[in-house]
Structure formats: structure tokens, C-alpha cells
Amino acid sequence: MKKVKDIVFGSLNISLSIIVLFASFMVLVPKVEASSKEPNTIAEYRQELNNLKAKKKRIENEKKLTQQEINEKNLAINKAHQNIEESEAKIEEAKIEIEASQTEILKYEEKTKELMKYNQVVKGENAYLNFVNDASSLTELIMRLDAINLIAEYNKDQLNTLEDLINELEKKQVDLKNYEKQLNKDIDSFTARIDELDSSLLAFDDDRMDLEEEIKAIEEKIEMYKNAGCGENEALDVCLAKGGTNKTFMKPVTKGYITSLFGYRNVSGQSSNHSGIDIGVAEGTTVYSMINGVVAFTVKKASCGGNKVYIEGIVNGQKYTVVFLHLLSINVKAGDVVTTQTVVGKSGGRSTATRYGGYDRCTTGAHLHVSVSKGYWKNDATYRANLINPPGFPKTKGAWFYSRTQWFD
Ligand SMILES: [Zn+2]
């Protein structure tokens, strides 16, 4: 996953017209419908491979669009933060101006008060009588009183102007605060949209394959069938029946306890469908095949799921694919015929985890993940659609089993 910063600075110029162009292109590209029938010849697997390659192209376009929208939203968030910063600066300016005006007002009020006091004094009876006897002094008194009134009037005007200014600044502050509120709302909604888009880019399930892996898997599978001597159009269930059949599943480890159940669960706040069960076992625990069958393919150091082994076989007449994830090491390869006594590998999950310096971001602690899907592996989507709760394991979290044959209904 790219850092937000990289995304923001990685692609600064996104034009809407490109998006519209892509969007209309997306609509025009016909969806490649996966046939529900399981391939039973190498030729049919080749068809599946072509479908996957077409799907890969389509998904890459979708990802591009999603990434573009994330970039846009990040830019918008950055802009909003900038606007908030500018708005904060303006609010600060207004605050300073208001304070200065208030100081001014105090000064004018002080001056006016002094003038009024003086007015009172000169209007005092003694002063008035003194002036009555002296006409020139009386004129002077009247002029002086007029001057006082004029100055007082001027001061009042100044006070009004300053008070208006303060009102205006206070209103501006309120407007700016409201503007900031709106920007913060925008940021929240952009962030929510980015989360949404991010989670559509990220797979939280611990064994979702990326298409690259899926294509490699099917190529390995075709190779395996060819090496097994299956003809291009030969029925694979006949060709592949060398693993023998099984009456039931066996446990992959001699003991362990369930740390996570099959189905919906919450991972870092995101609801995800857990494709199997997690068994708490120390790292390095020997992992056996749960069925007699054939290794369909392996995936090495996947960014989600780590080392994976896919085994195909028949139990009670039903075809299954049994999968182990997060392995520390793999002991088998595609085409290997395995029995329930075959050591498939060693369990991992901790040292392999990204957070402890490993390569697998979909594990956090030592455990073995087991998935069981009905049918042989055809592609990731079909495999996921046919997942079942791995049979025979304890059905509650934390519950232990103590042997490879212990069965829980
Ligand atoms: Zn798991």
C-alpha cells in the first residue's frame, strides 16, 4: 500500500476527462463470465487462464480508477487543510484588530469622559457667574463649550466607527469559523471515501489471491497435469485419481486450539469473511496433509497468506481443495502425490508476519490457517464461492483438539 504522501505527490495532475474516458471504457469492455463448470481438461484450464488474464486487465483498470480517485481526494484534503490554515491566520488577524480597536475605544472613552468632566466644571455656577460679568469671557465660554461639544461629538463618531469595525470583525470571525467547520466536514467525508476506496484495494481476507498469483497458480496447475501425463483433452478426474480416495479428513497437526472461526469476523475494524479456521500452534509445528491427494500448486511468500499449499483430493466421492496458509516452509511441490502421512511443511505465522519483519501482511501471530473448498481449484473466485467450514474441527473459539483423528460434529 502506498503511503498517502506518496499518493498525493506521486500524481498531482488528474484530469476529470481521463476518468470519464476510463469510466466509459469500463462500461464497454464485456465482462468475462466465469463458467460455473469445473474444468476437466488441460484445454479447459487454458481457457480459464485466458479468462483470468482478461480479468486482470479489467481489474487493473478499476484499480487505476480507484487510485486516481484516492489521489484526487487526498489533494482535496490537502487543499482543505491549507484553507483552514489560511482561515485560522485570518481569524488571528481579526482577533488582533479587535483588541487594537478595543484599546482605541478605551482611549476615546477616557478622553470623552475628561471633556465631559471639564464641561461640568466650566458650566458650574461660579464659573458661569464670573463670565456673566464679562461679555468677552462669556463669548469665550460659549465658544469653548461648543468646541468641547464638537470634540465630544467627534469622539462619539470615532467610538461608533470602532464599534462597527469590531462588529464586522466579529462577524468575519464567525463566518471563518463556519467556513472551517464546512472544510472539516469535507475532510471527514473525503477521508471516509478514501477508507472505502482503500479497503476496496486491500484484501483483508488472509488468503485472497492477487491475480498475478492466480495466473501463476493455474499455469503451475497446467504444468502439473502435463507432467502427470494427462493429455490436452483427457478428463482430469480420471487422470488425477492417483491420490486415491478418502473416507474422512484428518487433522493437519497432532494438537492445537481454534484461534479464529470460519466466516465473518472483524479485522482492524473491517468486517471480512474468514475463508477458513486458524489453529494456534507454535511456529515450526509439523503440518500433515489432511487427505490423500495431489498437490495442485504452491504459492511462495504471498504478500497475503505467505507460503501456501493447495492439495486436491476426493473425500466420500466429493472433490475438495484443502489449503494451508502462512507456512514457514513448504515440503511439497505441484504434482506430488500426498497421503495423510505426508509432511506438507512447517507452520509459521509470526516470523513470516510483516509486523515482525516478514513478508505476509495477513498474519500477526503463530498459527496455521486451514481452508477447505468444494471442487478442485479452478480460480480464486470459484474457490472462494465454494468454501466450507473445515469439517471435524471444534466449533468454538479457544477449544482444543488432541489428536489427528479427534472429530467434532
Ligand atoms: Zn486464517
Strand 343-347, strand 286-288: pairing: antiparallel
Tell me, yes or no, if the pTM score tops 0.85.
no
The whole-number pLDDT of residue 346 equals 98
Q: What is the dihedral of CA 359, 364, 368, 369, to 10 degrees?
A: -90
Distance 292 CA to ligand 1 centre (A): 23
CATH architecture of the domain covering 242-401: Distorted Sandwich (2.70)
To 5 degrees, how large is the angle CA 238–CA 244–CA 245?
100
Distance 343 CA to ligand 1 centre (A): 20
64 Cβ contact partners less than 8 Å away, ≥ 6 residues apart:
22
Distance, CA of 277 to CA of 396 (rounded, Å): 11
DSSP state of 228: T
Distance 50 CA to ligand 1 centre (A): 30
Whether the CA torsion 46, 52, 55, 61 is positive or negative: it is negative
Tell me the C-alpha to C-alpha distance, in Å, between residue 286 and each of 173, 253, 254, 341, 368.
69, 7, 9, 11, 10
Distance, CA of 366 to CA of 358 (rounded, Å): 12
**Which residue, 182, 404, 129, is CA-closest to 279?**
404
Distance 259 CA to ligand 1 centre (A): 9
Which residues in 236-356 belong to E strands, given as ranges? 245-246, 256-260, 263-267, 270-274, 277-280, 286-288, 293-302, 306-315, 318-330, 337-338, 343-347
Distance 400 CA to ligand 1 centre (A): 17
DSSP state of 210: P
To 5 degrees, how large is the angle CA 213–CA 216–CA 218?
110
Q: Which residues of the chain have pLDDT under 50?
A: 1-35, 203-204
Each residue's pLDDT tens digit, 117-169: 777 776 666 666 666 566 566 677 777 777 777 887 888 888 888 888 888 88
Residues facing residue 371 across a β-bridge = 323
The whole-number pLDDT of residue 354 equals 87
The whole-number pLDDT of residue 135 equals 55
* Residue boundaries of the structural domains of the chain: 1-202, 242-401
The whole-number pLDDT of residue 227 equals 78
Strand 245-246, strand 306-315: pairing: parallel
Distance, CA of 202 to CA of 194 (rounded, Å): 12
Distance, CA of 22 to CA of 248 (rounded, Å): 50
Distance 54 CA to ligand 1 centre (A): 29
Distance 319 CA to ligand 1 centre (A): 22
DSSP state of 305: T
**Which residue, 306, 315, 377, is CA-closest to 346?**
306
**Which residue, 125, 171, 168, 115, is CA-closest to 146?**
115
CATH architecture of the domain covering 1-202: Orthogonal Bundle (1.10)
Tell me the C-alpha to C-alpha distance, in Å, between residue 374 and each of 22, 263, 307, 338.
37, 16, 21, 18
Distance 313 CA to ligand 1 centre (A): 21
The whole-number pLDDT of residue 372 equals 97
Element (DSSP H or E) covering residue 114: helix 42-123
The whole-number pLDDT of residue 204 equals 45
Q: What is the largest CA-CA distance in the chain?
A: 139
The whole-number pLDDT of residue 15 equals 41
Q: Phi/psi class of residue 253: alpha, beta or left (left: φ > 0; alpha: ψ in -120 to 50)?
A: beta
The whole-number pLDDT of residue 202 equals 53
The whole-number pLDDT of residue 211 equals 82
With contact defined as beta carbons under 8 Å apart, do 274 and 281 qualify? Answer: no
Distance 369 CA to ligand 1 centre (A): 4
Distance, CA of 318 to CA of 312 (rounded, Å): 11
Distance, CA of 193 to CA of 4 (rounded, Å): 14
Distance 281 CA to ligand 1 centre (A): 13
